[in-house]
């Protein structure tokens, strides 16, 4: 058996090497230092360098995609050795870009030209492409890495300046601090971006600041956003945006102070407004949404709780959004990042600044983790079998568990072959088939 496995591995390696040698690829090998002008450098393989060129783009958070080096020069040549370089410091605040993309196109092609574009369109002539994300300042919060948005010029949302200064946005023992502060007569907002793409699952965050009396001219957001904007199922808002937002949008007399949104907000039923209760005695709130195919479920809770365990009395609001074929569309996962921001929706705060929001925790739970303990394991299967998953005993919940636990392709056969087995027996048999438990020695007990 060992010889067969070894032979297969070498054969697979050889096949990969052969495919890679002839593949048409492009790579980014270097970027200028964050905050400085410079060049993207990279390399191309698998094409005739004399008949192909490179198109390049950069993305500024809140400022969209831009063609580089310029609209008048949308491509650069590939050197005889397959390398290329693109000047990306050619205007505006290029040096504060967070995402860079390059594409191989035939010489003579005019790729789509972008100026503050909401969607990255590489065009039909693109042969191969790649991208790279980076931030000049990063923070560690809740066990994950977050890039800090920086913009010394007005950008979205709201035409705000954004600060990465450690006195304006920071992490300490109390959590992540987002502020709006005035520096030399200019107000600066703050935003952080999770540098991972997580997809379907449960996104939870907790705050410990007076969200019920947040300055009326400010907005706190906790949301997903995809800079590539390629969700063509929602052409009017292709950026996979799912939001919790606390704001009175400039109206201090608005009795509602918070909302859950599946963008675009203009579609009736996509925007759900609520009034947060008086938080003077205890400012702690828990919010989470569970994003699954065709369904997003939002919860707002008083106090600190986990998504899988909270008392009914803690529920401030529960909103379920479902895809229904009449304009309500649930985004599908792409390359979205989760973000927190605090920004001005008017030119200045309604009251005296500065403004601060403290996020005390964040967590992500993958589909299939029915006990919300951070992993998908055998206990989650038992919960499903006992009807304790979100959609009781559904095949969709079982598929979530199977996908995130391991390859359990024969589960349906076991269910059919063993009528009403005990939980322990069925779970044990399933574990024997799962790849993550393939080396364990287990014995299935009788029912």
Per-residue pLDDT at 398: 84
Q: Does residue 232 surpass a pLDDT of 90?
A: yes
Per-residue pLDDT at 58: 97
Helices (H) and strands (E) in the chain, counts: 5, 26
Q: Three-class SS of residue 358?
A: strand
Q: Three-class SS of residue 426?
A: helix
β partners of residue 207: 285, 359
Per-residue pLDDT at 406: 58
Per-residue pLDDT at 91: 86
Look at 59-73, 212-226, 342-356, 360-374 and tell me which has the smallest mean pLDDT. Answer: 360-374
Per-residue pLDDT at 425: 54
Rounded mean pLDDT, 14-20? 37
Q: Does residue 149 surpass a pLDDT of 90?
A: yes
DSSP string over 393-414: T-HHHHHHHHHHH---TTHHHH
Q: Does residue 17 surpass a pLDDT of 50?
A: no
- CA–CA separation, 344 vs 188, rounded Å? 9
Q: Token match 């005035």: residue?
A: 182
Per-residue pLDDT at 21: 46
For all residues of the chain together, what is the average pLDDT? 87
Q: Does residue 204 surpass a pLDDT of 80?
A: yes
Q: Token match 């929602």: residue?
A: 234
Local confidence band at 431 (pLDDT 50, 70, 90 cut-offs)? low
pLDDT for 250-293, tens place per residue?
Answer: 999 999 999 999 999 999 999 999 999 999 999 999 999 999 99
Rounded mean pLDDT, 115-139? 96
Q: Which domains does the chain have, with CATH numbers?
A: 24-133 (2.60.40), 138-365 (2.60.120.200), 378-437 (no CATH)
pLDDT for 360-404, tens place per residue?
Answer: 999 999 988 878 776 788 888 888 888 877 777 778 788 788 777
- CA–CA separation, 231 vs 166, rounded Å? 35
Per-residue pLDDT at 20: 40
Per-residue pLDDT at 408: 42
pLDDT for 62-102, tens place per residue?
Answer: 999 999 999 999 999 999 999 999 999 888 999 999 999 99
* 420: preceding bond cis by omega (within 30 degrees): no
Rounded mean pLDDT, 407-423? 45
Look at 31-45, 62-76, 166-180, 387-401 and tell me which has the smallest mean pLDDT. Answer: 387-401
Length of the chain: 447
CB 421 within 8 A of CB 381: no
Local confidence band at 423 (pLDDT 50, 70, 90 cut-offs)? low
Per-residue pLDDT at 12: 34
Per-residue pLDDT at 414: 41
- CA–CA separation, 106 vs 119, rounded Å? 22
């Amino acid at each position: 058996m060992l010889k067969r496995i070894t032979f297969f591995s070498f054969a697979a390696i050889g096949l990969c090497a052969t495919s890679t040698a002839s593949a048409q690829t492009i790579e980014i090998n270097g970027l200028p230092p964050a905050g400085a002008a410079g060049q993207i450098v990279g390399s191309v393989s698998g094409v005739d360098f004399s008949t192909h060129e490179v198109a390049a783009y950069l993305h500024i958070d809140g400022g969209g995609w831009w063609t580089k080096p310029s609209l008048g020069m949308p491509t650069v040549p590939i050197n005889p050795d397959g390398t290329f370089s693109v000047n990306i410091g050619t205007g505006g605040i290029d040096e504060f870009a967070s995402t860079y993309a390059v594409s191989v196109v035939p010489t003579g092609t005019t790729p789509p030209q972008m100026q503050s574009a909401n969607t990255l369109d590489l065009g039909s002539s693109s042969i191969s492409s790649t991208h790279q994300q980076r931030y000049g300042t990063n923070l560690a919060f809740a066990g994950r890495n977050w890039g800090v948005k920086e913009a010394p010029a007005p950008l979205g949302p709201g035409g705000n300046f954004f600060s990465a200064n450690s006195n304006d946005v920071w992490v300490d023992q109390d959590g992540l601090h987002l502020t709006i502060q005035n520096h030399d007569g200019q107000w600066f907002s703050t935003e952080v971006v999770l540098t991972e793409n997580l997809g379907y699952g449960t996104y939870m965050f907790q705050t410990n600041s007076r969200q019920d009396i947040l300055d009326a001219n400010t907005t706190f957001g906790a949301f997903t956003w995809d800079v590539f904007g390629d969700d063509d199922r929602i052409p009017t808002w292709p950026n996979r945006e799912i939001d919790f937002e606390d704001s009175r949008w400039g109206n201090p007399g608005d009795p509602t102070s918070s909302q859950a949104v599946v963008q675009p907000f203009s579609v009736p039923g996509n925007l759900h407004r609520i009034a947060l209760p008086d938080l003077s005695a205890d400012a702690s709130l828990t919010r989470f949404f569970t994003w699954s195919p065709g369904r997003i479920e939002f919860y707002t809770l008083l106090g600190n709780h986990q998504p899988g365990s909270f008392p009914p009395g803690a529920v401030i609001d529960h909103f379920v959004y479902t895809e229904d074929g009449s304009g309500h569309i649930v985004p599908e996962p792409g390359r979205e990042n989760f973000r927190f921001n605090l920004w001005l929706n008017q030119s200045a705060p309604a009251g005296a600044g500065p403004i601060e929001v403290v996020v005390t925790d964040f967590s992500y739970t993958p589909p299939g983790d029915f006990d919300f303990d951070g992993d998908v394991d055998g206990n989650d299967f038992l919960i499903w079998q006992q009807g304790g998953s979100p959609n009781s005993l559904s095949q969709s919940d079982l598929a979530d568990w199977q996908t995130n636990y391991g390859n359990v392709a024969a589960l349906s056969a076991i269910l059919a072959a063993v009528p009403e087995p005990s939980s322990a027996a069925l779970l044990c048999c399933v574990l024997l088939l799962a790849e993550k438990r393939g080396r364990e020695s287990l014995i299935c007990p009788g029912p």
